[in-house]
Amino acid sequence: MDLARKLTELYHALRERFGDRHWWPGETPFEVMVGAILTQRTNWANARKAIANLREAGALEPRVLASLELERLRELVRPAGYFRQKSARLARLANWLVQRGEGTVEALAAVPTARLREELLALRGIGPETADSILLYALERPVFVVDAYTMRVVVRHGLLDPGAGYYELRELFTASLPRHVALYKDFHAQLVELGKRFCRSRPRCEGCPARPALGEPIPDDELI
């Protein structure tokens, strides 16, 4: 069975099992961008607290966030952990938007995806995953997002060898799937859900025997 078919079957199996994930909540594209930084190496519940703080402070708007005192920003971001780093990262992102797009996300609409990706990666604190999350979920660009869960699932299904790099993994998906934003969004969300469940006791997947079957609904006992 070729890879494209395997991935398609995996997606439908996940979709069947988990339904619509309603992935990546956020009222505005900027809020999604902020969330992408706040959730780095941090569970979403903690990131959400920081987002709530920012909302209450009216700082879920690039110009406002960019104008906040650093100490104030650190306070608001604290629940998400790594608050010294993340506050600085948010400030750089907001400043970039203010300078690059006059403080609006809409001004980025005409900029090619590759260019946006380069500029995001040039911001210290935004790496491949965060950049791609922003491109896909905030800016609606057809970019597949790879994260730790994706890696676990793909390796566990034998689709790629352990030790594969970010770009190798991303290429696996982009080369095999139709370039549809909605598909990319939901597939990634499904992979996260699967990864959370069936690897929750063994995050590194070492020696774990379970391997959900492709193309079939996944039984609960194979999800652990």
Give the Cα separation of 90 and 70 in Å (integer). Answer: 10
Least distance from DNA to the Cβ atom of residue 222, Å: 18
Least distance from DNA to the Cβ atom of residue 184, Å: 12
Nearest CB to DNA, comparing residues 129 and 171: 129
First to last CA, the chain: 26
Sign of CA dihedral 152, 144, 102, 59: negative
Nearest CB to DNA, comparing residues 170 and 214: 170
Nearest CB to DNA, comparing residues 143 and 214: 143
Give the Cα separation of 86 and 37 in Å (integer). Answer: 7
Least distance from DNA to the Cβ atom of residue 215, Å: 26
**Placement of tokens 């057809």 in the chain:** 142
Nearest CB to DNA, comparing residues 92 and 157: 92
Q: Assign residue 208 a region: left if phi > 0, alpha if psi is -120 to 50, beta otherwise?
A: beta
Helix residue ranges per DSSP H, the chain: 3-18, 29-38, 44-56, 62-67, 70-77, 83-101, 113-121, 128-133, 148-156, 166-174, 181-198
Least distance from DNA to the Cβ atom of residue 10, Å: 19
Give the Cα separation of 55 and 67 in Å (integer). Answer: 15
Nearest CB to DNA, comparing residues 189 and 214: 189
Least distance from DNA to the Cβ atom of residue 83, Å: 5
Report the interface residues with DNA, using CB under 7 A. Answer: 23-24, 35-36, 39-46, 49, 78-86, 123-131, 133, 137, 147-149, 163, 165, 192, 196, 199-200, 203
Nearest CB to DNA, comparing residues 35 and 62: 35
Least distance from DNA to the Cβ atom of residue 86, Å: 7
